[in-house]
Amino acid sequence: MSSLPLIDPDNALFLDFDGTLADLAPRPELVQVEAGLVGTLRTLHRQLGGAVAIVSGRTIAELDAFLAPLQLPTAGVHGAELRDAEGRRLEVPAPDLDRLHRRLEDFAQAHPGLRLERKPMALAVHYRAAPELETLVREQVAQALGDVSGLEMLHGKMVVEVKPAGVTKGSAVELIMRSPPFAGRMPIFAGDDVTDEDGFAMVAHLGGVGVLVGQRPSAATVSVPAPADLRAWLHRSAKALDGGAAGGAGAAGEGGKAGGPSSAHAAGADTHAGTDAGTDIDAAPAAAAAAAPSGSGTNPSASTTSS
């Protein structure tokens, strides 16, 4: 298993939000963003020439609110919404969720502890407050979905979602990687949930690195124990890039050179990175983000957040 080197100037960085950038919380709206994280992401965005993207189950509007004033290239609702590096918005056709919503609303109201979330192009049934209902939730969502065309189920941490079929975090990464400033770089994708496995598989296909936050069997090639360790790695990488001493993020291990283009990309693109002035980087006290075998351990129970 490879160690986790610092981010290289020729990398493209893709980051999940819940359970990766931010610690999980009992309810999605209770998630807190660590002080200094926005400044670190801004620095990485600048030093990587704009090649930093958020890929999440949340909507783009939610992610922008959490990371304000930063507005990065973003894939929301598992790729059903997309904002590219130029700020242009792409969306899959909105499915008709009304009848499905009514069916699941009746089910959720009949079981205290369940929470039904309506997104622009998806529905999510959260069961963290009633984990004993997991099997029933899966069965009821599958039954409600029935033979509805164009939609599919997605299982996450303490949540079952219904989203547009064929749209995944992997397909979002592939689409973003086709255009500047991402094209030609070696991608890194960091995530924690089973919903991130498509992202891990895609970056592996593109010759990149998947970083699992937590421990469970995964297609990721590297792992860190917790979101705090992932944030510590981001903080260290941002500082190193600002000082011109970043190590490569490839299979060579700490300090190795990434397998990307031979010359660094221009690092001045910051058009859509908001107006947060300065480089507000905290010295993260978290343990070093040493890689642990991603195939060991079990998937820890966590929150209802849409990863």
Residue 114: give its domain's CATH number: 3.30.70.1020
Q: Are residues 232 and 111 in the same domain?
A: no
The candidate with the shortest Cα–Cα distance to 172, out of 93, 75, 89, 95, is: 75
**CA gap 77, 55 in Å, rounded:** 8
Q: Are residues 189 and 270 in the same domain?
A: yes
Q: Are residues 127 and 232 in the same domain?
A: no
Q: Are residues 179 and 278 in the same domain?
A: yes
Q: Are residues 110 and 42 in the same domain?
A: no
Identify whether 49 is part of a domain.
yes
Domain enclosing residue 102, as ranges: 98-164
**pLDDT on residue 2:** 63
Q: Are residues 76 and 213 in the same domain?
A: yes
**pLDDT on residue 306:** 53
Mean pLDDT for each 10-residue chunk of the chain (307 residues)?
84 98 90 97 98 97 97 96 95 86 94 92 92 96 88 93 94 97 98 97 98 96 97 98 61 38 35 37 31 37 43
The secondary structure of 53-71 as a DSSP string is EEE-SS-HHHHHHHHTT--
Q: Are residues 209 and 102 in the same domain?
A: no
Identify whether 4 is part of a domain.
no
Identify whether 1 is part of a domain.
no
**pLDDT on residue 259:** 39
**pLDDT on residue 258:** 41
**pLDDT on residue 92:** 84
Count structural domains, the chain. 2
**CA gap 59, 175 in Å, rounded:** 18
Say if residues 201 and 278 touch (Cβ distance below 8 Å): no
Q: What is the CATH number of the domain that holds 88?
A: 3.40.50.1000
**CA gap 281, 298 in Å, rounded:** 33
**CA gap 284, 277 in Å, rounded:** 20
- State the sign of the Cα–Cα–Cα–Cα dihedral 264, 270, 272, 276: positive
Last residue within a domain, chosen from 126, 148, 164: 164
Identify whether 63 is part of a domain.
yes
What residues act catalytically?
A: 16
**pLDDT on residue 253:** 37
Identify whether 286 is part of a domain.
yes
**CA gap 94, 211 in Å, rounded:** 31
**CA gap 143, 147 in Å, rounded:** 9
Q: Are residues 160 and 183 in the same domain?
A: no
Q: Are residues 193 and 47 in the same domain?
A: yes
**pLDDT on residue 7:** 97
Predicted TM-score (pTM) of the model is 0.78
Q: Are residues 132 and 177 in the same domain?
A: no
Q: Are residues 135 and 206 in the same domain?
A: no
**pLDDT on residue 292:** 36
**pLDDT on residue 307:** 58
Q: Are residues 220 and 159 in the same domain?
A: no
